[in-house]
Structure 1
Amino acid sequence: MSGTLQEQAEAFAAGLTTTVQAVVGTNCAAFQATAVEGGDAFTVRQRPADGVVLSDKDGPILRLEVDYECTLDGFDRYLAVETSKIHVFVEPNGRQPLFRYEFERSLGANLPAAHIQFHGTHAELEKAMEDCGDSTPRAKRRSRGKKPALLSQLHFPVGGTRFRPTLEDVMEMLIEEFGIEPVGSVKAARKQLADAREDWRRKQIGTAVRDAPSEAVRVLTDMGYVVTPPTDGCAPDKPEKLRVF
C-alpha cells in the first residue's frame, strides 16, 4: 500500500475498525486518522474514545484502549507506526490497566522499543528488584531506593520493531484466555483476526527485506529464484535496524 500519509493512515484506521467490529460489533466506535500539528504525523484512535469493550455471555468484562501515531518511513513512502499503545482494563470502571502492550520507536537504546508491562504485585519479584545489581543506571537507581521496585516498571521485550505483537494478537489471546464471545462466532472472529494479522505480517516482511536485502537475495537464491541486482548497485543492509532492542 502506498499513497499520501493521510491516505495510508485513513486506510489503516479503516482496517482496524473492520477487524475490531468483526469481534465486538458495529456499535463499537470507529477508528479515525487525525493530523497532528504540522501534518507530518497522524494519530489513529477511536472517535469517540469509548474503548473496545469485550464481553462474555453475561456482559462486558474487559476494555481495550488503543492508540497509534503514524508517520512515513525512512523512504518517505510507506506508513510507519511511531508509537502504539494497547491497554487492557477491567470493564466497567477499570482505572489501572491489567497489562499494556506498547511500542515507542524512540524510547531509548537501553529499553525495548516494543514491550509489555504488567500491573499488579509480585512480592518475590519486587524483592528481587530491590536487591538488584548496579551495573546499569536504571538498576542502580532502583537498588538505591531512588526508583520504585514495582512490577509495572519492568519492560518485557516482545519482538522488537519489526516483529512485535499486534492488536489482533492481543484480541485473540483475550478470546482464548478470558472466554470473550464475539458478535458472530469464535471461528469467524479468529478468521478476521488471522486475515488482518497476515496483512500486517506481509507488510512487516517487506520492511524487514528493506532492512536486510542481502538476506532476502540469499534466501530467494536458495529457493531457486534468479535475482538480478539493480543497475545502480545493490541497496546496503541496515544492521542498525536489525540490532535495535
Structure 2
Amino acid sequence: MSRSEPGKIAERFARDLITMLNRTVCDRAFVGVLERPDGMVVFGTGLRRGQRAEPIPMKTRGGVPCWLTVSGQLFLDGDNYLTVKKSTFLVSAGKPAVELFHYDYERDKIGYPDAHLQIFAHGEAWDELLLASGRSEGSVSKLHLPVGGRRYQVALEDIVEALIAEGILEPQAGWKAVLERSRDEFRRRQLAAAVRRDPSTAVAELQTRGYTVAAPDQALVSNVVQFSKSRLRRLGRRGPRER
C-alpha cells in the first residue's frame, strides 16, 4: 500500500530520529510509522505493524542497561500541516526494565499541562507533602510537572544530551554536532508554528528592530500559500510542523 502525504512526511520524520539516535547513543535503533484508517499516523521505537512501541537500548558508561521508548500520534491540522497530537519520551533502566521518567505531550489535555514530566522516585519529604495533600505515599510519579507548554517543550535531543552530560550514556564521536543540528531543526519548526499562530507579535518585534513589515495583499495570499506548500514538498519537509 502506498503512503499518503502525511505518511510520507512522518516517514521522513522517523528517518531523522533514527539517524539522530544511531549517531549519538544507539546502535541499530528503529522508529516505525503506521497509518490508521482514521487518518492518524502513529510512530514509535521498534514499532512494527500491529504492535506497540518498544524500548530500544542506549549505550551506557557503567554497563547498566538503559532504554528509550519514543511513541506518538500525528495528524493533519486545519492548515494541512502534520501536527503532533501526543508524544512520549520514556527512559527506563535495569533488567527487567523499570521506568525512571517520561516526558509527555498531549494536545489540549484536560486537567494537566499539555507538556509535562513525570518522575518515578521516592523521598521522605515528597511523601510527607503528598500525604498532607491527600495523595498516597510514593505517588511522585503521578505528578505532572510542566515543561514549557506547547511551543517550548523539551526536545528528545535535550533528554539525550542531559543523560550524556550526567555521565550515564556513552556517546559516539561527533554526537554533539548531531544533536545540535537535529535540535535546531526542531526549534525552527516550533518558531515557525508560533509565528503562524501569532503573526502580530512577530510583526511588532520586527518593527521594533527597524524592519518594515507590510500586510499581505489578500488577493495574492492564496497563490503565495500554494506556492509555499509546493516548495516545501519539493524540499522534503522534515517532520511535524508543530506540537
Q: What's the TM-score bracket when you normalise by the shorter of the two chains?
A: 0.7 to 0.9
CA distance in 2, matches of 1:192, 1:127: 43
CA distance in 1, matches of 2:212, 2:33: 41
User: TM-score under structure 2 normalisation?
Assistant: 0.80
List aligned pairs for 1:26-37, cutoff 5 A. Answer: 26-28=27-29, 30-37=30-37
Q: Which of 73, 79, 87 lines up with 1:75 in the alignment?
A: 79
Deviation digits for residues 105-164 of structure 1, max 9, x if unmatched?
Answer: 1321x31010001112122222212222xxxxxxxxxx2xxx535101111000001111
Q: CA deviation at 1:50?
A: 4.7
| Runs of 5+ unmatched residues, structure 1 | 133-142, 236-245
User: TM-score under structure 1 normalisation?
Assistant: 0.79
Q: Which of 136, 149, 157 lines up with 1:148 in the alignment?
A: 136
8 Å CA contact 2:26, 2:57 repeated in 1: no
| Runs of 5+ unmatched residues, structure 2 | 48-52, 222-243
CA distance in 2, matches of 1:107, 1:44: 20
Letter in 1 for 2:24: V
Aligned equivalent of 2:17? 16
Identity over aligned pairs, percent:
29
CA distance in 1, matches of 2:86, 2:164: 25
Aligned equivalent of 1:135? none
State how many pairs are aligned.
211
CA distance in 2, matches of 1:205, 1:45: 25
8 Å CA contact 1:24, 1:52 repeated in 2: no
Aligned equivalent of 2:194? 208
Q: CA deviation at 1:5?
A: 1.1
Point out which structure has higher relative CO (alpha carbons under 8 A, 6+ apart): 2
CA distance in 1, matches of 2:151, 2:193: 8
Matched, 1:224 2:223: no
CA distance in 1, matches of 2:62, 2:112: 40
CA distance in 1, matches of 2:17, 2:28: 14
Deviation digits for residues 78-101 of structure 1, max 9, x if unmatched?
Answer: 221111111111133213x11111
List aligned pairs for 1:85-234, cutoff 5 A. Answer: 85-95=88-98, 97-108=99-110, 110-132=111-133, 143=134, 148-149=136-137, 150-182=139-171, 184-185=172-173, 188-232=174-218
List aligned pairs for 1:53-68, cutoff 5 A. Answer: 53-68=57-72
Q: CA deviation at 1:45?
A: 1.1
